[in-house]
Structure 1
């Protein structure tokens, strides 16, 4: 009996140490790169190995966050990705230092373009936030389609705003193309998985803030209740939810949901 108690005590102690460690490091202003590969038959062979730098939910709230973002941009450029995508929500609350933020984002390098969609926070000041991103070299897509050309081949990028309806962007001409849907809120996957889209990239939920193994993220948001964190595949479509680059200003703690930038490699 004493031996069993010792084992239980050791297990509980280890769990407590892990919890405290996770709580500490995720309370710090840190982030990491999360690399994910997607292997899909529909991908044109020319795009095998094509890389995408995807980030979402900057949630900037102080000048200190700007320094944090500058360092992240330097690290992202070292990854030498082919395409840059931003999933929305520049600021946590009110905008500030817009010229400086635009200049920092302008320093992100990409060989085949920089595209963005707006998050629900951005839409409160849609014109100014669109202008900020445009000045930074991003093309902001408002329910629009763009072709990405690479080595003589094409994949489709669908930039969706408050919608999972792809029908107006898919026609006889491109129905067989490989398609990536960029939309801030992940629950639009319910609609998007019924279309001929192979990959959906979303953010919004910050991974549910507190993630418990086998349970998932605990905090949900409007249009982020069914799909909160991680990867989900259904009907040939995969959803990847980014944890986001930074926490919101009103919630400074996370557990098992690191601040992250996603590096995505497409594979045939």
Structure 2
């Protein structure tokens, strides 16, 4: 009997160790984005993207995550939503991370988990983030400036009715259209290079039509389980093999980079899908 049990225990241990490593080892994915609309002053400008932390901590006080970020020496850090879980009573992990990133210029746009918060909870979270120097992009635009040149940075969030996984509010056949984003963000200047932070990549065609040259998103968690040669298995939208699950996509001259996220959903481990940081380096054509 014992000779039957030993291989089972061994295999279970190997699988468990593999899952632990695959869910706790941070992978850095690097992208080069070039455009004639990027000013020469922004050659080599480095944007580091964090997404979907879901209050996960990599070591005590997120020490390992901070070490990876510091090693990359980014010009700015952007956070594309779901940095917390909506069911939390406190947001200590996220706020502690924000405190440790005060040496950087940090920009944040909310995801569906932040949108789910009550008005009071959201106001408290925003207040605490602002106290730590985080710039909240609440359906608005700012300009990133360098040596007298600039590029546009927008942040957009959408109502929960546009997230299919939230059955209580989702409206069938509802789609986030160009007119919806124009209503909250206005129109883009086609001569400028425009970066859009938008949690949900599902509406990439809308972002491209609106005028985003580069969109940074998350939300899909890499499809949770990565199948070699196939892609991500399942999205939060309850859809198999989501169209945008990780990496770079293009519609004409508009680019989308989907971050696989750092955390995940309780009891659903990531498989062949390590937590990810995206590093985007800009250059002028």
**TM-score (normalizing by structure 1):** 0.81
Matches within 5 A, 1:33-182: 33-60=28-55, 67=60, 69-99=62-92, 101-109=94-102, 113-125=105-117, 126-162=122-158, 165=178, 166-168=181-183, 169-171=185-187, 174-182=189-197
Shift of 1:21: 10
- Report the equivalent of 2:4: none
Match of 1:229 among 242, 246, 262: 246
Shift of 1:164: 6.0
Contact 2:102 2:133 in 1 (8 A): no
Contact 2:224 2:269 in 1 (8 A): no
Summarize deviations over 1:52-100 as a string: whole Å, max 9, x none.
Answer: 1110000126xx5572623212331232111110011122353255356
Q: What SS is found at the alignment partner of 2:107?
A: strand
Q: What SS is found at the alignment partner of 2:257?
A: strand
Match of 1:200 among 215, 220, 228: 215
User: Residues 241 and 100 (structure 1 numbering): CA distance in 2 closer, same or farther, change over 3 Å?
Assistant: closer
User: Residues 59 and 99 (structure 1 numbering): CA distance in 2 closer, same or farther, change over 3 Å?
Assistant: closer
**C-alpha RMSD of the superposition:** 2.8
CA distance in 2 between counterparts of 1:146 and 1:44 reads 16
Shift of 1:221: 2.4
**TM-score (normalizing by structure 2):** 0.76
CA distance in 2 between counterparts of 1:147 and 1:86 reads 17
Which range moved further: 211-220 or 118-127? 211-220
CA distance in 2 between counterparts of 1:164 and 1:69 reads 38
Which range moved further: 150-159 or 101-110? 101-110
User: Residues 194 and 223 (structure 1 numbering): CA distance in 2 closer, same or farther, change over 3 Å?
Assistant: farther
- Structure 2, unaligned runs of 5 or more: 1-13, 159-175
Pairs aligned (count): 246
- Structure 1, unaligned runs of 5 or more: 1-18
User: Residues 102 and 24 (structure 1 numbering): CA distance in 2 closer, same or farther, change over 3 Å?
Assistant: closer
Which range moved further: 100-109 or 210-219? 100-109
CA distance in 2 between counterparts of 1:26 and 1:208 reads 18
CA distance in 1 between counterparts of 2:106 and 2:31 reads 19
